[in-house]
Amino acid sequence: MSLTEDRDRQTRGHSKKIMKGQCFKNIKKFSFPHRTVDIWNRLNEEIVAAKSVHKFKEKLETGHYEPCSNPVLYN
């Protein structure tokens, strides 16, 4: 599985979108990187463009983004 910067769809979302490669096995499909791409891509530009990790976390806590509609939960 590879994660690459999505350069084709710059009309929506933020400038740091990530594109997922196709997965044929569940072990890759449900891996951490693959599961988090959709959540990352839903963040707004202000959150993604934070200048530091501290600011990113701060903006993430107070920012508005569409939560994952179908989260995968593990015990």
74 or 16, higher pLDDT: 16
Q: Residue 49: exposed, middle, or buried by beta-carbon count in 10 A (0-12, 13-18, 19+)?
A: middle
Residues in the chain: 75
**pLDDT on residue 52:** 94
* Domain-located, residue 33: yes
Give the domain extent around 55: 3-62
**pLDDT on residue 53:** 94
pLDDT digits (tens, 9 = 90+) for 11-58: 567 778 887 777 777 777 778 877 888 888 888 888 888 999 999 998
Q: Residue 59: exposed, middle, or buried by beta-carbon count in 10 A (0-12, 13-18, 19+)?
A: middle
Whether the pLDDT of residue 75 is over 50: the answer is no
